[in-house]
Amino acid sequence: MEGMPKKVLAIIPARIDSSRFPAKMIAEETGKPLIQYAWENANAATTVSDVFIATDSEEIASKCTAFGAKIIMTGEHPNGTSRIAEAVRELDCDIVVNMQGDEPELDPVVIDATVAALGEASMGTACCTLQQEEFDNEHVVKAMVDNNKALDFFRQHETGAMRHIGLYVYKPEFLQTYVEMQPTQNEISRRLEQMRAIDNGYSIAVAHVKPQPGGIDTKEQYNEFVQRVGLDAHS
């Protein structure tokens, strides 16, 4: 009903067999599993009603249950979006947040801003200013944004582009539609799932937020994170 608070579910998809950094979600050199940081950030967001971790790994489920997370066991999936779609299929909610378990330093404020930006769009995400050292880094995804709507996503640098932050929010009915659509050529060639929505004519709302630390894809990046956490603990 109009004016009623929306039920927002944050789902963190997690798999054990990450190609560049196996079992990174449960790496715990800081004293707690990497995925726990994302879970804590999701719980800290004021708009989020509940948080779940969706996985097909008993090992991940066991580690996450130990720190108090609610688990949804799923089948195997080709990507996190598909896993989340299965996880929420029988759940009642107004908005679904797709949280990345390998972005431990994401400010909860970004989650709230992205939920707020969704409006009448089917899907929303967040972007920030692109730093010069990120221009030629193909691992940093760029977005062309106009009037708070994403027009395109790509990996090369283009004038006027913003840096895309790997956080998505969806209307639950659109999420089920999305996973039924076939991957598009742009999605495959650019290795960017969100192009499926763009190529099929769906609008992606964009929240403009302050620059955020990047995600963790490699052991080297994790080692740097471990060092930062240690430095923070002693600062």
pLDDT at 234: 47
- 69-100 tens-digit pLDDT: 999 999 999 889 999 999 999 899 999 999 99
CA contacts within 13 A on the Cβ side of 189:
7
For residues 5 and 188, which has the higher predicted lDDT (pLDDT)?
188
Say what percent of the chain tops pLDDT 90: 88
CB 8 within 8 A of CB 49: yes
CA distances to 124, 158, 214 from 148, in Å: 10, 18, 22
- Phi, psi angles (nearest 5°) of residue 63: -65, -40
The pLDDT of 207-228, averaged and rounded, is 93
Query: What is the CATH architecture assignment of 1-105?
Result: Alpha-Beta Complex (3.90)
The pLDDT of residue 4 is above 70? no
Which bin fits 15, alpha (ψ -120 to 50), beta or left (φ > 0)? beta
Average pLDDT, the chain: 93
- 24-65 tens-digit pLDDT: 999 999 999 999 999 999 999 999 999 999 999 999 999 999
pLDDT at 19: 75
Domain boundaries in the chain? 1-105, 123-165+173-213
What's this model's pTM, rounded to 2 decimal places? 0.93
CA angle 34, 92, 103 (to 5 degrees): 20
The pLDDT of 103-132, averaged and rounded, is 96
CB 30 within 8 A of CB 49: no
pLDDT at 200: 97
Residue 63 CB contacts under 8 Å (≥ 6 apart), including other chains: 26, 28, 33, 35
For the chain, the straight-line distance linking the first and the last C-alpha, in angstroms and rounded, comes to 47
pLDDT at 139: 86
The pLDDT of residue 125 is above 90? yes
Say what percent of the chain tops pLDDT 70: 96
- 149-187 tens-digit pLDDT: 999 999 999 999 999 999 999 999 999 999 999 999 999
pLDDT at 1: 42
